[in-house]
């Protein structure tokens, strides 16, 4: 298990390596069957029927682009998210065991199974249409890194063309400071317009350093962004090994950054499209009341009020994300960990 062992003072590098092996190279996995060609039709019809039935709360939002150097942060403003259920005073006084919405997903939200181990369900509280989740059928902790099979499932989901003019963005909020609110393992997917360049797209436009390791490339970062983050391109038609090698390389640097900053808990954000993988370590869940998850770290922030929007505009999105991330460390400090 990842969290407590990894930051031990005695053998952090060894701990990192054994985790990568156990999670990414440890076992033979079955290839997952591809998603059906009718999946995009299924998600569209299920989304409409779940909204009509009142099983899915769709919260309208507006979008505002906030430039930051050669990046653009798209901020979604959704003041009505406040209507999302919050515990009553009685529930807070006598808390019940936390409800796990992913153990028996609501039938109206259920889309399909993916292999033996995953189900795809609609997000119950979405602010963009067709937001869906890939959940493990059995409980697995959200604080664990993605396994080989999780990466394979994520890749299968990314192939779906759920909305014309958009590509899918996968994201995984791992650990208590990552913006995650559910403890059962889930990777999320939202459609993002093709013409919107996210932070990893821009980072890759600066070029990728060549390395002599198995991937042939070092992870890159956007030179104008203060928080530590690591990006690698994903090749066309990658094998599961291609995905695992890239995730391992990004995760190793993330764990080193967390250790160098003395972080006692392991929290990071993962994001992926068909073109790239991105990982950023986290030091804080929110800044100035603005919660940030993986979408925020790649350029899609969420403001739950006009005040939060003003705060993001006045502070600057690069400052907000830098405050919830961790400062970058030098390549020298990275060198022993992978």
Catalytic residue among 131, 184, 186, 261: 186
Distance CA 265, CA 2 (A): 10
Q: How many residues bind ligand B4P (CB under 6 A)?
A: 26
Secondary structure class of 263 (helix, strand, coil): coil
Distance CA 257, CA 230 (A): 11
Is the Cβ of residue 225 or residue 294 nearer to ligand B4P in the bound state?
294
In this structure, are strands 57-58 and 125-126 parallel, antiparallel, or unpaired? parallel
Distance of closest approach, residue 300 Cβ to ligand B4P, in angstroms = 4
Is the Cβ of residue 16 or residue 136 nearer to ligand B4P in the bound state?
136
Q: Is 186 a known active-site residue?
A: yes
Q: How many CB atoms lie within 10 A of CB 85?
A: 8
Distance CA 133, CA 170 (A): 9
**Whether the Cβ atoms of residue 109 and residue 43 lie closer than 8 Å to each other:** no
Structure tokens at 174: 């791992």
Between the two ends of the chain, the Cα-to-Cα distance in Å is 19
Show contacts with ligand B4P in window 258-297 (CB under 6 A): 291, 293, 295
Distance CA 145, CA 33 (A): 23
Question: According to the binding rule CB under 6 A, does residue 204 interact with ligand B4P?
Answer: no
| The one among 119, 147, 152, 173 contacting ligand B4P by CB under 6 A | 173
Strands across the sheet containing 71-77: 62-68, 71-77, 300-303
Show contacts with ligand B4P in window 105-164 (CB under 6 A): 109, 121, 123-128, 133
Q: How many CB atoms lie within 10 A of CB 74?
A: 17
Is the Cβ of residue 40 or residue 129 nearer to ligand B4P in the bound state?
129
Show contacts with ligand B4P in window 52-91 (CB under 6 A): 76, 81, 84
Question: According to the binding rule CB under 6 A, does residue 305 interact with ligand B4P?
Answer: no
In the chain, what's the furthest Cα-to-Cα distance? 60
| The one among 180, 244, 251, 279 contacting ligand B4P by CB under 6 A | 180
Distance of closest approach, residue 210 Cβ to ligand B4P, in angstroms = 33
Is the Cβ of residue 125 or residue 206 nearer to ligand B4P in the bound state?
125
| The one among 20, 151, 190, 297 contacting ligand B4P by CB under 6 A | 190
Residues in the site for ligand B4P, rule: CB under 6 A? 76, 81, 84, 101, 109, 121, 123-128, 133, 173, 179-182, 188, 190, 291, 293, 295, 300-302
Q: Which residues are catalytic?
A: 186
């Amino acid at each position: 298990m990842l969290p407590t062992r990894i930051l031990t003072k005695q053998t952090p590098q060894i701990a990192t390596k054994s985790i990568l092996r156990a999670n990414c190279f440890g076992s033979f996995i079955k290839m997952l069957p591809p998603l059906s060609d009718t999946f995009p039709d299924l998600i569209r019809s299920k989304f409409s029927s779940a909204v009509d039935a009142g099983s899915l709360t769709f919260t309208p939002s507006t979008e505002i682009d906030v430039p930051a150097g050669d990046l653009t942060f798209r901020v979604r403003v959704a003041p009505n998210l406040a209507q999302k259920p919050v515990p009553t005073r009685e529930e807070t006084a006598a808390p019940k065991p936390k409800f796990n919405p992913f153990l028996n997903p609501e039938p109206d939200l259920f889309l399909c199974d993916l292999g033996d181990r995953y189900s795809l369900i609609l997000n119950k509280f979405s602010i963009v249409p067709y937001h869906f989740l890939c959940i493990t059928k059995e409980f697995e902790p959200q604080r664990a890194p993605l396994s080989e099979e999780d990466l394979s499932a994520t890749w299968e989901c990314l192939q779906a063309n759920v909305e014309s003019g958009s590509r899918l963005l996968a994201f995984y909020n791992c650990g208590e400071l990552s913006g995650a609110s559910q403890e059962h393992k889930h990777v999320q997917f939202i459609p993002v317009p093709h013409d919107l360049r996210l932070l990893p797209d821009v980072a890759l436009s600066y070029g990728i350093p060549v390395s002599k390791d198995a991937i042939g490339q070092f992870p890159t970062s956007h030179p104008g962004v203060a928080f530590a983050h690591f990006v690698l391109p994903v090749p066309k038609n990658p094998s599961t090994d291609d995905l695992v090698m890239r995730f391992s390389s990004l995760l190793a640097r993330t764990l080193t950054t967390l250790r160098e900053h003395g972080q006692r808990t392991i929290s990071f954000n993962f994001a992926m499209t068909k073109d790239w993988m991105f990982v950023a370590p986290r030091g804080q869940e929110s800044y100035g009341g603005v919660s940030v998850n993986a979408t925020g770290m790649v350029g899609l922030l969420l403001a739950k009020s006009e005040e939060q929007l003003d705060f993001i505009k006045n502070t600057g999105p690069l400052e907000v994300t830098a405050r919830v991330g961790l400062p970058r460390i030098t390549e020298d400090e990275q060198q022993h960990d992978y």
